[in-house]
């Protein structure tokens, strides 16, 4: 078990660039009149040298008018174009065929006479068929899955939740701390998404990294009496407010369907909570296995984990401050 934890530590330390992994391709197709549509897309890039030629694949009845307008930055391509479609696009397929190495894509289709449709595209299913009568559950289902993925694939939030469980260690205190974290990030996520408040994203991401380092130090201090160990729910609530701004930034990257903002916001948050509960259950189960398999192994295992988490968080902090 100790060797397994060492391997896990190496994985965390060797993968610092995986922080905030949820950066899907975003595609929007909005109808202007009977024939004209506005097409927009945003393609995050893994490096400045990555392929910038990918484009959305439109229905056969649609044609791009003129040359697309492209805004290129070091790590993203943003494109805009006018599209003409000869007829109803219901039943047609839209996709991003270059998804094999880029994770997921979020497709929004906004016809004039039908509800906004939201689809999640994957490397296995890079196309979606536009529905004539979309289900009312479509937005709920799509944003719930996105929320789950943001916890499981967004390494900074994932690492914070793991560190919180390792610090508290016992089921009932973990439940209270996780509930406080949930309530707090739900508040700032909703407030930011609805335009009530907000913070610049780069300082938020740096402070999220700092929160991970803070918890790693607390774990490494062992059983010393600190406010974090006495009142973990309070610390979780305070940092949860901060992480809510981070969740809001990710949701802003994806976009929200007009007219369906409450549904998208609630379902995304429920997805985040579902993913968070999966992580908490897995870490608690792992701690219980360590206690049962080898007496006295929990303390050195936590020390190893705290070093791995702390080093990773410190790397992210420096990278986000000077990057």
| pLDDT, block means (10 residues), the chain with 323 residues | 46 45 76 92 80 90 90 84 92 87 77 80 89 75 81 81 88 87 89 82 89 91 78 91 85 68 83 88 88 82 89 90 79
The predicted structure's pLDDT at residue 257: 66
Instruction: Identify whether residues 226 and 116 lie together within a single domain.
Output: no
Q: Which residues span the domain enclosing 52?
A: 25-134
Report if pTM > 0.85.
no
Q: Which string of b and e fits 161-185 if b means at least 16 CB within 10 Å?
A: bbbbbbbbbeeeebeebbebbbebb
- The span from the CA of 114 to the CA of 132, in Å, is 8
The predicted structure's pLDDT at residue 212: 93
The predicted structure's pLDDT at residue 21: 45
Instruction: Identify whether residues 250 and 310 lie together within a single domain.
Output: yes
Domain assignment of residue 213, yes or no: yes
Instruction: Identify whether residues 32 and 114 lie together within a single domain.
Output: yes
What's the Cα-to-Cα distance from 307 to each of 243, 302, 312, rounded to whole Å? 22, 9, 8
Instruction: Identify whether residues 215 and 298 lie together within a single domain.
Output: yes
The predicted structure's pLDDT at residue 7: 46
Domain assignment of residue 300, yes or no: yes
Domain assignment of residue 251, yes or no: yes
Pairing of the two strands 25-31 and 105-110:
parallel
Last residue of a domain, one of 75, 105, 134: 134
Instruction: Identify whether residues 110 and 174 lie together within a single domain.
Output: no
The predicted structure's pLDDT at residue 255: 67
Going through 198-265 in order, the beta strands assigned E by DSSP cover none
CA torsion sign for 82, 85, 90, 96 is: negative
Instruction: Identify whether residues 186 and 297 lie together within a single domain.
Output: yes
Domain assignment of residue 177, yes or no: yes
For residues 317 and 213, the answer to whether their CB atoms sit within 8 Å is: yes
DSSP 93-122: EEE-TTGGGT--EEEEEE-SSS--EEEEE-
Instruction: Identify whether residues 248 and 176 lie together within a single domain.
Output: yes
Last residue of a domain, one of 89, 108, 134: 134
Q: What's the first-to-final CA gap in the chain, in angstroms?
A: 36
- The span from the CA of 162 to the CA of 257, in Å, is 32
Number of domains in the chain: 2
At which residue do the structure tokens 């009977």 appear? Answer: 34
- The span from the CA of 26 to the CA of 106, in Å, is 5
Instruction: Identify whether residues 304 and 172 lie together within a single domain.
Output: yes
| β-pair partners for 29 | 39, 109
Instruction: Identify whether residues 287 and 264 lie together within a single domain.
Output: yes
The predicted structure's pLDDT at residue 221: 83
- The span from the CA of 145 to the CA of 272, in Å, is 9
The predicted structure's pLDDT at residue 100: 65
Instruction: Identify whether residues 253 and 276 lie together within a single domain.
Output: yes
Instruction: Identify whether residues 217 and 301 lie together within a single domain.
Output: yes
């Amino acid at each position: 078990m100790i060797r397994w934890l060492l391997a896990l530590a190496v994985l965390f330390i060797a993968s610092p660039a995986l922080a905030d992994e949820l950066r899907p391709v975003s595609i929007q197709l909005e109808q202007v009149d009977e024939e004209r549509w506005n097409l927009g897309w945003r393609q995050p890039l893994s490096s400045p040298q990555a392929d910038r030629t990918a484009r959305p694949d439109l229905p056969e009845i649609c044609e791009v008018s003129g040359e697309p307008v492209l805004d290129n930055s070091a790590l993203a391509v943003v494109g805009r174009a006018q599209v003409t479609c000869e007829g109803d696009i219901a039943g047609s397929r839209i996709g991003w065929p270059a998804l094999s190495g880029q994770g997921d894509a979020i497709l929004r289709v906004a016809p004039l006479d039908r509800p906004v449709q939201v689809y999640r595209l994957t490397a296995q299913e890079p196309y979606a068929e536009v529905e004539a009568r979309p289900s009312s559950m479509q937005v709920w289902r799509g944003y719930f899955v996105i929320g789950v993925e943001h916890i499981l694939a967004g390494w900074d939030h994932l690492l914070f939740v793991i560190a919180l469980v390792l610090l508290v260690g016992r089921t009932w205190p973990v439940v209270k701390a996780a509930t406080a974290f949930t309530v707090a990030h739900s508040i700032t996520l909703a407030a930011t998404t609805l335009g009530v408040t907000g913070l610049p994203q780069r300082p938020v991401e740096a402070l999220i990294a700092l929160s991970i380092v803070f918890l790693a130090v607390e774990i490494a201090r062992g059983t010393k009496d600190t406010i974090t160990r006495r009142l973990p729910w309070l610390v979780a609530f305070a940092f949860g407010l901060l992480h809510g701004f981070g969740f809001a930034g990710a949701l802003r990257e994806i976009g929200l369907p007009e007219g369906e903002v409450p549904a998208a916001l609630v379902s995304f948050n429920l997805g985040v909570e579902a993913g968070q509960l999966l992580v908490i259950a897995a870490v608690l189960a792992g701690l219980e296995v360590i206690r049962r398999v080898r007496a006295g192994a929990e303390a050195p295992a936590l020390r190893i984990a705290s070093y791995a988490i702390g080093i990773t968080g410190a790397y992210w902090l420096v990278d986000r401050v000077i990057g």
